[in-house]
Structure 1
Amino acid sequence: MSISQLYRSTGPGIAFWTLGFFGLLLVSSGQSVKASQPIDPIVLKVASQLFIPADYYIKAVIDDRTDQSPVAFLVPNADSGRQLETVDLEGGAMNALERYFSGVLPRNPNLKPIVVRIKDLKIMEVLKGEGRVLVEGEVFLDFSFELDRGDELVHLLDFQGGISYKRGVRQFYLIEPVLRRSINNSLTYFNDWIEKESKNEIKLLSDVQVRIRDYREDFGDDTVFYNPIRPLTWDDFKGRPRFNNYAASIFSSISYEGNSWIEDGEVIVDLVFKTYMLKSSSWVRGTNNSYGLNHEQRHFDIAKIVMERLKERVQQLDLQPHNFDRKVSFHYLEAYREMNRLQEQYDRETAHGLNGPAQERWNEKIDEELRHFGLK
């Protein structure tokens, strides 16, 4: 039997093809005899331990095949023509793979749990040659390796592999070694990848250190970032007044920037939170007084209070390397909605500053929370 291999593996920053040749085995040239019995299921043999993983163990196998029919479509005899016989792995494909993985790789539950998702697994054959004594076949597999984080499976690496082979029409025993070699190729490649990336791939790390800071740079441009020692002035309201009955309006908002890197095997997450107002989008009609400026300042204060609440929530989160960005983004969006609700409630209850007693109540409420966060 002659065997050639073609496989592709994809992962973070990885995509390549490799073509190899694995030698020759004798192809029977004797007269073919029509098979009288169905082909036996393929028994994956654990010949020996493949290697000992240092960082992980195979926890489970998930059958994610769109076609869950038997894995092999084999030429049964020389007279079959295009008629193929379906043959499965002994005990079913997933059971056979689970047994095989546990046999060739030791299981250590103290290591990272890896789940292998089987997207495709096929053996396809065709009868060739004038004498109908030669069968050409191909093994194709598509595996996805995922890290089980408990609450979700985190994708790490995809591996697509294939081996083409030739056998004599009666040499069914030669199929299993080819399939086994394909599976071993996927396990070997994943093992090599995880050994190389164990300290460099964020998804594989477990410790996250979050650093939170406020952005307060003042470049004298269009943006004013919140600073408790720098209250607003009417000079910050440079926009053109709108056609409405309001005396002034402020555009204030919140945002954040995040950056991450790996330092001594730990994921460092640097979060910069910004509470700001835009001069060009904020305006005042004619001259106004300190009462009106206080009303607009309180809009700015509300945005800052919401940002401080967000920072508290982020500090309490159980962030993992695979989910910190998603979790912070979710809570930021919730804070943004909270800010809009509070701003609308503030304007509604104070009648946009016209209700003096209500304005005073909001002044006291806002000051109390600013003191809570050490901002007053």
Structure 2
Amino acid sequence: MKGIFVACFLITNVLFGQKIYWTESGKLKWSNFKSKINNQRGENVVAYTNCGWIYSYVRSSNPKSAIKIKIETVFNENKSWKDVKKINDYVLLHEQKHFDVAEVFSRKLRKEVAEKVKTGMDFDKYFKEIYNRILKEYQDFQRAYDGETKNGIIEEKQSEYNRIIAEELENFKSYKAS
């Protein structure tokens, strides 16, 4: 008898609301930012992107049996906010890159999981450590991205990050969600 367990843990509390799943051709629009609350509480904040990843898995009650893990990158519309008086296409690109960064780290997570987690026993032994390490790397990258670009204001740094993010998506393209 197979046991099925589905877990959805989100790195940014993406628990409720409309979700958009990351795709290469899909781009955010200002209409996707539906929160009425600026939870960043800064006067200079123009927008806030709530994104991250969710995972689910199916495993047998036999810990030596294969496990199937699915990892998806999501944007939560109801927790993403914009100041309608300040938005523009340049700011939207900066916010899109936050979503793209989430996809980069989803791919890194998929890669490590594919390499190290083959069975339920592997999951129990390795998944939490892999997940937490990549989560920290993701959070550090997002902070550095906003800090170094001053939330997209420094155009030269924004261009540099646009290039870095595109390269990382390309480097991990074989780990796109299937």
Shorter-chain TM-score category?
0.7 to 0.9
Say which of 8, 20, 44 aligns to 1:224: 20
Say which of 90, 99, 103 aligns to 1:304: 103
Is 1:315 the counterpart of 2:114? The answer is yes
Q: Which amino acid aligns with 2:33?
A: F
Q: Look up the match of 2:58.
A: 259
Whose relative contact order is higher, 1 or 2, with alpha carbons under 8 Å and at least 6 apart? 2
Contact 1:262–1:268, Cα closer than 8 Å, also in 2 = no
Q: Which amino acid aligns with 2:34?
A: K
Q: Look up the match of 2:79.
A: 281
Structure ranking higher in strand proportion: 1
Cα deviation for residue 328 of structure 1 reads 1.4
Deviations 1:97-138 (A, max 9, x none): xxxxxxxxxxxxxxxxxxxxxxxxxxxxxxxxxxxxxxxxxx
Cα deviation for residue 350 of structure 1 reads 0.2
Deviations 1:218-266 (A, max 9, x none): xxx6111111121111111011242421111111112211211279xx7
Matched residue pairs, number?
156
Deviations 1:62-109 (A, max 9, x none): xxxxxxxxxxxxxxxxxxxxxxxxxxxxxxxxxxxxxxxxxxxxxxxx
Cα deviation for residue 337 of structure 1 reads 1.2
Deviations 1:29-50 (A, max 9, x none): xxxxxxxxxxxxxxxxxxxxxx
Alpha-carbon separation, structure 2, partners of 1:303 and 1:253: 5
Stretches of structure 1 lacking an aligned partner (at least 5 in a row): 1-199, 203-220
Q: Which amino acid aligns with 1:311?
A: R
Alpha-carbon separation, structure 1, partners of 2:69 and 2:169: 21
Deviations 1:282-320 (A, max 9, x none): 111015221110100110111110110111111221645
Cα deviation for residue 322 of structure 1 reads 2.7
Cα deviation for residue 372 of structure 1 reads 2.1
Is 1:239 the counterpart of 2:29? The answer is no
Q: Look up the match of 1:193.
A: none
Deviations 1:194-230 (A, max 9, x none): xxxxxx899xxxxxxxxxxxxxxxxxx6111111121
User: Which of structure 1's runs of 4+ aligned residues deviate more than 4 A?
Assistant: 318-321
Q: SS of 1:267's equivalent?
A: coil
Is 1:372 the counterpart of 2:168? The answer is no
Contact 1:256–1:273, Cα closer than 8 Å, also in 2 = yes
Q: SS of 1:231's equivalent?
A: coil
Structure ranking higher in helix proportion: 2
Q: Look up the match of 2:161.
A: 362
Matches within 5 A, 1:7-156: none
Alpha-carbon separation, structure 1, partners of 2:117 and 2:97: 33
Contact 1:241–1:248, Cα closer than 8 Å, also in 2 = no
Contact 1:241–1:285, Cα closer than 8 Å, also in 2 = no
Q: Which amino acid aligns with 1:233?
A: K
Q: SS of 2:69's equivalent?
A: strand
TM-score of the two chains, using structure 2 as the length reference: 0.79
Bigger Cα Rg: 1
**Structure 1's 295 and 201: CA in aligned 2 closer, same or farther, altered over 3 A?**
closer
